Amino acid sequence: MSTYGIDLGTTYSCIARLDANGNPEVIRNNEDDSNMVASVVFFENENNVVVGQAAKENIETDGERVVQFVKREIGKPDNRVYEFDGKTYTPVEISALILTRLKNLVESQGGTIETVVITVPAYFGLEERSATKQAGELAGLNVLSLINEPTAAALSYCAREFQEDRTILVYDLGGGTFDVTIIQMTMSQNETGNDVQKINVLATDGDDRLGGKDWDDKLYDHILRACCDENGLTAQEIEAETRQDIRSKVEEAKRKLSKKQSTKVRIDVGGSRTEVSLKRADFENMTSDLVAKTMNFVDNALDKVHGVNIDTVLLVGGSTYMPMIKDAVEKKFPGKVQQHDPDQAVAKGAAIYASMLVVEENSVGKDISPVDSNGEPSTDRAEQLTAKFDVEDQTPRSFGPGVVDTKGSKHKYVLENFIKIGEKMPAVFSKTYYPLEDNQERVRLRAFENRSTEDTIIPCVDEDGNPQATDPANDVKLLGELIVNLPPQTSRNTPIKVTFKVDASGVHVEAVNTSTNEVFETFLRTGSDIDVEKSAVHQLRISAD
């Protein structure tokens, strides 16, 4: 099948598909002798851009030409850009370079890649999600859908294990981020009588600045100090090449300590060789505060679900290979911890989900019970999975339009939340509004994202039509606007039906002029085409006269 699942990670990315037997497999990166591609881009010169391990090797010596952790920038409001050799690159474009490298992996091994599912953190808002999707499209990929990383991880684990209702805690410690997610899996039956496993996200917590890199940094400092002591130098006297040498060896040493009790690192310091011995026990001591930090986030997530009993804990992310992590989690959840290829679980789950979607698409109107054309139980894993799972994610934020409340003596600009944080996706809601004035030429329908669970937020914008800066708790963000052109002599009592639909890949806004049945759906995103200053005029109002 030419359908793939992609884990576009902060530090490492991974691409997987289902093999001929329907089992998920990762596409190997032979060049780096790894299952992963480092999410690092090195702009060597105007003709050469390098992605992966080779790019990573330039971080200390040529750092200003290296971009890493771009996932932290994607879809963020500050619209950061990078500039190399007179060309500018957005985080979306950098991410597209990483995705292109993954696509090339498949193609260089004779595969073709048609459709993909890309994973995103559960806490990503709509901007981050649509930017991720855009990066996929820019890389020439047909993005079927996005899926939350912990949901993908649970899919890859439950494809092998779970058949019954369970509450699962996903502990995902990657290279630059730590995410805890509590997921509920429930079995039910669909209309055709097949078992369906639903996946709901109950709570998320974590830190997007905590990950394997912090363990690397501790080891780096330790080795640098040892080199200084051995050679009677200060840290400033250590050359950049030596620092790069330490930097390149740190991660490998850390990985070795996951397998062995001790290892050695040899560093060339000003012509003389310094050998540093590392013991796992020492490494565990110097990083115990980091482990404790992750466990605090686990407690926070547990607090949010008020003592729900956790049945299973899944370890996800490359950093959970460190025995100290498994030990700490085991101690808190004795007998409940599962770990299986933790750095590949997300990509594999995405591959499973992608093939489920393709099967679903191909079987529209057909009975999708897991039997083959002869009526025998199907051996096609993807078909079995379709019958078995129904992924139900929740909206990461609340969404709604900004409209004018004309009821009081003074007009108020309010945000009406159509869809609230935590609702099941896809979520759809419609409501009818009216132009503010007679003969209004157009309506600027503005869509907002926020964290409030209220029906209405007042006021949601300041006098210039920008999201209220004094309301940080609700984190109101303008997503963009839809222009609804009205024919001449439109009355102010003409009903305009506004619909918001939210699914894992974004928010879709639609307006219908119910007197002409004209449909408007061209959504202008903030930061690109939208002129905020003009946007405060030509509003919709809540009630008719």
156 binds, among ligand ADP, Mg ion, none (CB under 5 to 8 A by kind): none
Q: Kindly tell me which of 319 and 474 has the beta carbon lying closer to ligand ADP.
A: 319
**Could you give the C-alpha distances from 426 to 74, 270, 391, 447, in angstroms and in order?**
23, 61, 11, 17
Q: Which two tokens stand for residue 501?
A: 């639909």
Count of C-beta atoms within a 10 Å radius of residue 426: 15
d(CA 536, CA 465): 5
Nearer to Mg ion, 223 or 350 (CB): 350
12 interacts with, out of Mg ion, ligand ADP, none, CB within 5 to 8 A per kind: ligand ADP
The entry of ligand ADP, Mg ion, none that residue 393 binds, CB within 5 to 8 Å by partner kind = none
Tokens 């052109």 belong to residue: 485
Between 174 and 480, name the residue whose CB sits nearer to Mg ion: 174
175, interface contact from ligand ADP, Mg ion, none, CB < 5-8 Å by kind: ligand ADP
Q: Which pair of tokens denotes residue 496?
A: 């305009």
* Of residues 199 and 210, the one with the C-beta less far from ligand ADP: 210
Q: Which among 450, 453, 380, 466 has a CA at the least distance from the CA of 423? A: 453
The single-letter code of the amino acid at 270 is G
**Rounded least distance, CB 31 to Mg ion, Å:** 21
Residues found near ligand ADP in the complex (CB under 6 A):
9-12, 36, 39, 174-177, 211-213, 251, 254-255, 258, 317-319, 321-322, 343
CB of 9 to ligand ADP, least distance (A): 2
| DSSP code, position 165 | -
Shortest CB 168 distance to ligand ADP, Å: 18
Q: Which residue is nearest to Mg ion (CB)?
A: 174
Alpha-helix runs per DSSP H in 83-211 = 91-108, 126-138, 149-158
Which pair of tokens denotes residue 479? 């997503």
Q: How far is the CB of 283 from ligand ADP (least distance, A)?
A: 10
State the binding partner of 42 from ligand ADP, Mg ion, none, CB within 5 to 8 A by kind.
none
CA distance 292 to 386: 39
Nearer to ligand ADP, 36 or 368 (CB): 36
Q: Which two tokens stand for residue 74?
A: 């994607």
The pairing of strands 389-391 and 398-405 is: unpaired
Among Mg ion, ligand ADP, none, the one that 258 touches (CB under a kind-dependent 5 to 8 A) is ligand ADP
CB of 452 to ligand ADP, least distance (A): 30
Question: Which entry of ligand ADP, Mg ion, none binds 101, CB below 5 to 8 A by partner kind?
Answer: none
Select the binding partner of residue 125 from ligand ADP, Mg ion, none (C-beta < 5 to 8 A, by kind): none
Cβ neighbors of 28 (< 8 A, separation 6 or more) are 34, 35, 105, 109
For the record, the structure tokens of 50 come out as 């390098």
| Distance from C-alpha of 247 to C-alpha of 240, rounded to nearest angstrom | 10
- Closest contact distance (angstroms) between CB of 109 and ligand ADP is 21
Is the Cβ of residue 255 or residue 431 nearer to ligand ADP in the bound state? 255
Which CB, 12 or 500, lies closer to ligand ADP?
Answer: 12
Amino acid occupying residue 434: Y
Choice between 343 and 471, CB closer to ligand ADP: 343
Helix and strand element counts for the chain (H, E): 12, 30
**Least Å distance between CB 266 and ligand ADP?**
20
